[in-house]
Amino acid sequence: MAKKTLRDLLVEELRDLYHADKQLLKAFPRLAKGATAEEVRKLCEEGVDYTEERIRRLEQAFETLGMPARGKTCHAMAGLIEEAMETLDEDFSDTVRDAALLANIQRISHYGIAGYGTICAYAKAIGEDDVAGRLAKSLEEKKDADEEMTELAKSEINPRALHAAEDEESARVDRAAAGDKPRRRKKRGG
């Protein structure tokens, strides 16, 4: 049996990313519904358009390589999406859920940065400059999105979550100072 070449590995990685982006395309609308911060919701909604464009680029790369555009199950993306969906079910305040959701989306983006960086390097190495150039656009978009998410987290989302927690703690302290103590149930003798 012939050993696989770097071109074969490129095709495998393309298939992985193709399936990953197809999964993400389905997940973004559900994640958008779970976001309460307009910025996070908008990020998910815009993510659909960017993901559709990345899928088109991947399909063009397959065509350039003379291969059918088909995916290979991407278990990593499935796990990342599952974690994001679990965040929606957690008992977080809205602002904390938005912070957690943004972190999940950023982890998903990091997977894309790694994947697109890898396939660009493989394509360049085997002389597929057209494929490398086309997919470099997706890589740059992923990197730009990562920077935007970091800035959004630092400047807006995380401070809101922090202030909401401080407000909740302050209200608890105020209630305790006012004499509103949790009621204890009386034990019945037996």
> Which pair of tokens denotes residue 35?
């976001």
Asked whether the whole model's pTM tops 0.75, one would answer yes
DSSP assignment string, the chain:
-PPP-HHHHHHHHHHHHHHHHHHHHHHHHHHHHH--SHHHHHHHHHHHHHHHHHHHHHHHHHHHTT--------HHHHHHHHHHHHHHHS---HHHHHHHHHHHHHHHHHHHHHHHHHHHHHHHHTT-HHHHHHHHHHHHHHHHHHHHHHHHIIIIIHHHHHHHHHHHHHHHHHHHHTT-PPP-PPPPP-
Domain boundaries, the chain: 6-177
Residue with tokens 């394509």: 123
**pLDDT, tens digit (0-9, with 9 covering 90-100), for 50-61:** 999 999 999 999
User: In the predicted model, is pLDDT for residue 190 greater than 50?
Assistant: no
Residue 2 confidence class, pLDDT cut points 50, 70, 90: confident
User: Are 142 and 105 a contacting pair, CB within 8 Å?
Assistant: no
> Which pair of tokens denotes residue 71?
């995916």
Q: For the residues 124-137, what does the mean pLDDT come to? A: 97
User: In the predicted model, is pLDDT for residue 183 greater than 70?
Assistant: no
CATH class belonging to 6-177: mainly alpha
Q: For the chain, what percent of residues have pLDDT higher than 70?
A: 86
**pLDDT, tens digit (0-9, with 9 covering 90-100), for 52-111:** 999 999 999 999 999 999 999 999 999 999 999 999 999 999 999 999 999 999 999 999
Calculate the average pLDDT of the chain. 90
At residue 185, the pLDDT reads: 45
169 or 11, which is more confident?
11
**pLDDT, tens digit (0-9, with 9 covering 90-100), for 104-123:** 999 999 999 999 999 999 99
User: In the predicted model, is pLDDT for residue 184 greater than 70?
Assistant: no
